[in-house]
Chains A and B, each alone.
Chain A
Amino acid sequence: MKRRQFIKQGIGALATLALGEVILLTPDEAAAATRRMSEPAAPPPVPVVDYRNLKQVPSTCLNCSTVCGIVGLVQNGELVAIEGNPADPNTHGTLCAKGVGAISINTYPERLLYPLKRVGKRGEGLWQRISWDEAYATLARRIQANIDAGHPERVALHQGRSRLGAEFSRFLNAIGSPVSLNHRALCSSNKRAANYATIGDTDWETPNADKSRYILNFGSNFMECHQGSIHLARRVAQGRANNGAKLVTFDVRLSNTAGRSDEWHAPFPGTDGLIALAMGHVILEAGLHDAAFINDWVNADLAALRAFYAPYTPEWAERESGIKTADIRRIAREFAAAAPAAVAFTNRGSQAHYNGFNNDRAVILLNALVGSIGQEGGYNYMKTGLGGFGVKQPEPVPPSPKIRTDLEDPPEWPLANRWQKMRVGEIVYDYLKAGRAKLDVYLSYTLAAPLTWPEGRSLAVEVLCDETLIPFHACSDVVYSEMAHYADMILPDASYLERWGLDNRDNYEMRPYIALRQPITPPPGECVSFADVLINVGKRLGPEQARYFQFANHEEFVRQQCENIRIPGVANAFDYLKEHGLWVDTAKPTAWRTYERNIADSELAGTRSDEAGIVWRTNAQGKAVAIGLRSGDRVRRGFDTPSRKFEACNAEVAKAAAKVGIADDGWPHYVPIPSHLNLPADRLILTTFKWNVHTQARTAPQKLLSEIVHDNPLWINSATARRHALKSGDWVEVTTYRPKGHTLHPTGEMLGRQRVRVVVTEGIHPRVVAISASLGHGFSGRASEGRKGRRRANPGFASPTGNAAREDWDLAENLWWDKASGGRGNGFNLNAIIPIHPSPVTGMQSWFDTVCTVKKV
């Protein structure tokens, strides 16, 4: 049958997509099915807000990974505004543009409202509306068949930033699949691994910036997009205003953070670690180190440290990085002089490299050299997570599966899952194509892989389209995204403003807190939170699995999770969190210098000390675990590492490296990036970045954010541009090359070519070109596609009730950046030609190492 016959025809026919009816959704063909708008093209009345009688619903933001406390102001069932929750110890009630601008997603006319099943070829865009019953039954049948066949590992759940870890692990454990995939290695696994490998307690630092006098920043753009972005930006502003703190930033690109620092230094990409090592060299050479801290708390003595640092001269660092020896010496001395109120920290600029794990360890080590770890104004950290509050999986708890596959546990990167299950997400599609694992059911959530994965619109899309590699793909999303387009079933999700969940982060005030995410308004149409979908599917599985899903809904699951939370004077923690949004446990001691804490004698019964003073206890599984460090007659907690000290040198890293054929002595040496060695003069390094108003691919449908940033030309330095006779607005063809070294497909061969507009700027290293992520959408509706006018055919239009069915006059009439009306359009996505490039041992995607050339077109 010709597919046109399926499609509803005629004016207004698409106003309601009835159960069973079919609709075509592709960027090109949907234009032919454009709906004639029946709504008048006039501005809606601005609601008159009665501020004294608003309903205030506290919840937790998820428009980025910082998860700030929010309060939704609701009037007559409509979300009027989003404000910060004053109870949030990190934000004190403030927010960023993403936090306040998210308001438009709930009423976005292009919201998905009904479950859909694919009726054409995969990726063709032909969909039929189905009932939730059919969706649940199909999913349950398909998953059950894999369980029954003895292959639960053929069911994979691949999530982006969901903050639904407990829900998802319960589901996978219940069905017996270990294949829980994520995006951590595309984000931060080197940084997290570096913290675990040195400090051990946690994966993310909380710099005490408000009390600091010197803030040394390697590659974090915390004024725009760091995890904990505004928490830190706020405190850096306080530190600078109140203590005159100096902010020094190393970044290849003039981010807002770099542009507002007291000093911006642009090193050659991937040399941050070498610069930090040279600073350490200067500090030791000048005797500016903290000998007592090193003696008490570093797992290497001064002589060993001196020997390690000896070759790392500032002169060497200057040759590789371009940063002047005099600057390195001066900054090192200033940093040490300000200690212990001095902090050096990192983020993607330093860690998203082939050598990023060592770069970050080298930076963290600077804090140990000057003794600023755990000190006021220094490098601080605290254990976070929900477990400390008594949050548990409701009984009965499904056991973890004992099987493994190469998808979630690739043996080539032995530290990827060592401290937490960080995975190596970027290799998933490559491994599927190579037959390293077999899948039947692929559940995707908050992922947008075609836009956000390296080789996204190339390899990821190729694999997503291949029904032999991914026989069945169900995607939960709030909009018809590029990921949904390649699915077999679309499950319309609730936005984060419409669903439940527990959450928390580090608290810059150093006390643990716990936060609730709850619906501020109900989801529109037939949208169902993916957490509820999993419960509903779980109930339809066999009795062995269904027993784990005896909850009325996700709300009840979260309520049960809260049963053991004890809030003094409060009968029911869940009700308290519903009312207040979050709770800070002020009875807990603040987490300063936790390594110095004494372990009480009463807790030492049954322990033993070895000759190094390490105190061991045998745990319930019969395994000896180091718990503290004896010093005289006291036992102190120390660091949560095998030596209970700060690990300058990590024996486990050496062992892991040896396992995959890499020589490594466990010290955070500078490792030159193989692809950058002997780089021909015409080769540049392509780097990527995020804007302050966007996260990866999920903010572009929010019109107030895309209005600020919708275009992302390629940044090119003015001197480099002159050589290529380029001016802003010109077009270039970018050619990229695969990496070399100990990585995936280390061929150095050409990967691909793509055309892009340039912006000429002084704010970038002459050997670097930069393009942002987050833009260049081909799907997800008008705000992200940069298209003014009538909305296209979309199943989301069909709702007879609910805000999302309403047309948005703004998108129809005022979307001024539409290229067709003289605007800049919606930008570019270059991920198709950015190679999959896991860094050795940890597997972090080396986003910022891509070798390329540019040619004017």
Chain B
Amino acid sequence: MIPAPQWRLAVDVERCTGCHACSVACKAEFRVPLGHFRTKVYYRDVGSFPAVKRHFLPAFCMQCADAPCLKACPAKAIARGADGIVRVDQAACRSGRKHCGARCESACPYGAIATGPGKGTADKCDLCSDRLAASLLPTCVAACPTEALVFGDAADPASSLSRFLASSRGRDAVPIDRGGSPQVRYRAADPQVVARLPNGRPHDPASYEIDTWATEGQA
């Protein structure tokens, strides 16, 4: 029997230009409503004129091995597949959502799961599972113009992901770890932009307003 692929994402942050192609591609393809982001790009300006740097962080669902959202869901509507992808069962979520208090949202240390608007059920990245089934890359990875996003089967040493992780650059890629055993690896993510990631609440759309680019801490 062929073992299930282990789909993983890695981010070479140094190559990121903050272009938002990943986040907008995701919103366009999945009709994610205004105000909500499954994937969002954070900015952080650091330093004083003229010694200033701008840091970017494309923030994804970390597809945690020990997912806090999964554990928090009283309806058991969230499951992690054999392929390593954490998914929401929309029907189970719908039937359980009245009394759950959106515990998945507050459990997630990465801002990656949100309930509503409109449908009211939990919404998150599933690494474009439907596209994967048709042998297509996740839409964010397909769009990324600077090859900052690397995707593939961690169980296959020939996959782009495995080759990246084995390369001199990829060896530095580590998870942003706020618990849950996150599986997305980031190379060269600046801690000051990482600090902007929300913890226990979904991405706030206003966290990209330009006057927040120089603010410290959670967006």
Interface residues of A (CB under 8 A from B): 42-44, 46-47, 49, 51-52, 80-84, 91, 93-97, 99-101, 103-104, 223-224, 230, 233-234, 237-238, 240-241, 254, 256-260, 264-266, 692-693, 703-705, 707-709, 711-713, 717-719, 728-729, 759-766, 809-811, 813-817, 823-824
Q: Hey, which chain A residues are within 8 Å of B15, CB to CB?
A: 237, 240-241
Evaluate contact between B24 and A266: CB separation under 8 angstroms.
Answer: no
B53 in the interface, Cβ–Cβ < 8 Å?
yes
Contact B210 A49 (CB under 8 A): no
Residues of chain A within 8 A (CB-CB) of B18 are 223, 256, 260, 692
Shortest Cβ gap from A532 to chain B (Å): 28
Contact B54 A260 (CB under 8 A): yes
B55 to chain A, nearest CB (A): 8
Q: Which 7 A-B pairs have the closest CB atoms?
A: A259-B54, A43-B118, A51-B134, A814-B34, A230-B145, A223-B17, A97-B20
Complex interface: chain A residues within 8 A of B208 (CB): 708-709
Q: In the complex, which residue of chain B has the Cβ closest to the Cβ of A266?
A: B50
Q: Which residues of B contact A729 (CB under 8 A)?
A: 211
Q: Is the CB of A46 within 8 A of B30?
A: yes
Q: Is the CB of A260 within 8 A of B205?
A: no
CA distance A354 to B139 in the complex (A): 44
In angstroms, Cα B50 to Cα A94, docked, is 33
Give every chain B residue within 8 A of A43 (Cβ-Cβ). Answer: 33, 117-119
Can you name 19 A-B pairs with beta carbons within 8 Å? Answer: A95-B145, A100-B143, A223-B18, A233-B19, A256-B56, A257-B17, A260-B17, A264-B50, A693-B24, A709-B208, A711-B210, A718-B48, A728-B211, A761-B45, A813-B117, A814-B117, A815-B34, A816-B34, A824-B206
Taking the closest CB of chain A, its distance from the CB of B20, in whole angstroms, is 4
> Judging by beta carbons under 8 Å apart, are B144 and A704 in contact?
no
Which single residue of chain A is at the shortest CB-CB distance from B134? A51
Asked if A254 contacts B54 (CB within 8 A), the reply is: yes
A residues less than 8 Å from B134 (CB atoms): 51-52
Q: A100-B25, A233-B146, A816-B205 are in contact. Are A809 and B118 (CB under 8 A)?
A: yes
Q: How many A-B residue pairs have CB under 8 A?
A: 189
| B203 CB, nearest partner CB in chain A, Å | 12
How long is the Cα–Cα vector from A224 to B20 in the complex, in angstroms? Answer: 10
Q: How far is the CA of A100 from the CA of B27 in the complex (A)?
A: 9
The smallest C-beta distance from B61 to any residue of chain A, in angstroms, reads 18
Taking CB atoms, residues of chain A closer than 8 Å to B117 are: 43, 813-814
A259 and B28: CB pair below 8 A?
Answer: no
B169 at the interface (CB under 8 A from A): yes
B47 is an interface residue with CB less than 8 A from chain A: yes
Q: Are A233 and B17 in contact (CB under 8 A)?
A: yes
Cβ of B171 under 8 Å from chain A: no
**Contact yes or no, A84 B143, CB < 8 A:** yes
Are A237 and B20 touching (Cβ within 8 A)? no
Distance from B141 Cβ to chain A, minimum over Cβ atoms (Å): 9
Q: How far is the CB of B26 from chain A (nearest CB, A)?
A: 9
If the complex has contacts A100-B25, A814-B117, are A763 and B142 also in contact, measured as CB distance less than 8 A?
no
How many whole Å from B21's CB to the nearest CB in chain A?
5
The answer, yes or no, to whether B147 is at the interface (CB within 8 Å) is yes
Q: Is the CB of A97 within 8 A of B21?
A: yes
CA distance A717 to B12 in the complex (A): 31
Residues on the A chain within 8 Å of B214, using CB? 761-762
Closest residue on chain B to residue A231 by CB atoms: B145
Q: Does B14 interact with chain A (Cβ within 8 Å)? A: yes
Closest to B37 in A: A707
- Interface size of B by CB at 8 A reads 53
Cβ < 8 Å to A, chain B residues 30-73: 30-31, 33-35, 45, 47-50, 52-54, 56
Residue pair B118, A100 in contact (C-beta under 8 Å) = no
Known: A94-B145, A96-B21, A237-B146. A81 touches B48 (CB 8 A): no
Q: Mark each residue of chain B from 116 to 143: 1 if its CB lies under 8 Å from any CB of chain A, else 0.
A: 0111000000000011011010010011
Question: Within the complex, which residue of A47, A266, A707, A764 is in contact with B34, where a contact is CB–CB below 8 Å?
Answer: A707
Instruction: List residues of chain B with CB within 8 A of the CB of A718.
Output: 48-49
* Extra pairs beyond A101-B27, A223-B17 (14, CB < 8 Å): A49-B130, A51-B134, A100-B24, A101-B25, A223-B19, A234-B147, A237-B17, A260-B17, A266-B49, A717-B49, A762-B49, A809-B118, A814-B33, A816-B205
Q: Report B-chain residues with C-beta under 8 Å of the C-beta of A82.
A: 28
Q: Complex Cα distance A101/B143, Å? A: 11
- With beta carbons under 8 angstroms apart, the residue of B139, B145, B148 that contacts A81 is B139
Select from chain A the residue with minimum beta-carbon distance to B49. A762
- Neighbouring B residues of A49 by C-beta, 8 Å: 29, 130
B: residues with CB less than 8 A from A are 12, 14-15, 17-21, 23-25, 27-31, 33-35, 45, 47-50, 52-54, 56, 117-119, 130-131, 133-134, 136, 139, 142-148, 169, 205-206, 208-211, 213-214
Is the CB–CB distance between A100 and B210 below 8 Å?
no
CB neighbours (8 Å) of A813 from chain B are 117-118
Whether the Cβ atoms of B143 and A94 lie closer than 8 Å is yes
- Asked whether, in the complex, the Cβ of B45 is within 8 Å of the Cβ of A762, the reply is yes
Chain B positions within 8 Å of A258 at CB level: 54
- Is A237 a contact of B49 with CB atoms below 8 Å? no
| Nearest B residue (CB) for A708 | B20
Tell which of B19, B48, B131 touches A97, judged by Cβ atoms closer than 8 Å. B19
Distance from A699 Cβ to chain B, minimum over Cβ atoms (Å): 11
Contacts A83-B139, A266-B49; is A234 near B146 (CB within 8 Å)?
A: yes
What's the Cα separation between A815 and B35 when bound, in Å? 7
CB–CB A241/B169 < 8 A:
yes
Q: Which residues of A contact B146 (CB under 8 A)?
A: 94, 230, 233-234, 237
* Residue from A104, A266, A761 having most chain B Cβ neighbours under 10 A: A761
Asked whether, in the complex, the Cβ of A256 is within 8 Å of the Cβ of B17, the reply is: yes
Chain A residue numbers with a CB within 8 Å of B28 are: 81-82, 100-101, 103-104, 704
Docked CA distance A97–B18 (Å): 10
A814 neighbours in B (Cβ, 8 Å): 33-35, 117
Instruction: From A51, A224, A759, give the contact of B210 (CB < 8 A).
Output: A759
In the complex, chain A residues whose CB is within 8 Å of the CB of B35? 707, 814, 816
Q: Are B119 and A51 in contact (CB under 8 A)?
A: no
Chain B residues near A80 (CB-CB < 8 A): 29
Residues of B within 8 A of A709 (CB): 208
Chain B residues contacting A816 (CB-CB under 8 Å) are 34-35, 205-206
Q: How far does the Cβ of B169 sit from chain A's closest Cβ, in whole Å?
A: 6
Given contact pairs A100-B25, A103-B28, A704-B27, A95 touches B54 in the complex (Cβ within 8 A): no
Residue of A nearest to B44 (CB): A259
Q: Assess the B52–A264 pair: CB atoms within 8 A.
A: yes
The answer to whether residues A824 and B209 also contact, given A46-B31, A814-B33 and a CB cut-off of 8 A, is yes
Q: Which residues of A lie under 8 Å from residue B19 when comparing CB positions?
A: 96-97, 223-224, 230, 233, 256, 692
Q: Which residues of A contact B130 (CB under 8 A)?
A: 49, 51
Question: Which among A233, A703, A704, A717 has the greatest number of chain B C-beta atoms within 10 A?
Answer: A704
Q: What separation, in Å, do the CA atoms of A692 and B145 have in the docked complex?
A: 13
A233 CA to B47 CA, complexed, in Å? 24
User: Nearest-CB distance from B128 to chain A (Å)?
Assistant: 9
* Candidate in B20, B23, B56, B117 with the most chain A CB atoms within 10 angstroms: B20
Q: Whole-angstrom distance between the alpha carbons of A241 and B211 in the complex? A: 31
Q: Report the separation of the CA atoms of residues A264 and B54 in the bound assembly, to the nearest whole angstrom.
A: 11
Nearest Cβ distance between residue A259 and chain B, in whole angstroms?
3
**Chain A residues in 8 Å Cβ range of B20:** 96-97, 692-693, 708
- Cα–Cα, bound, A712→B209 (Å): 9
Residues of chain B contacted by A711 (CB below 8 angstroms): 209-210
How far in angstroms is the closest Cβ of chain A from B104? 19
B27 and A42 within 8 A (CB): no
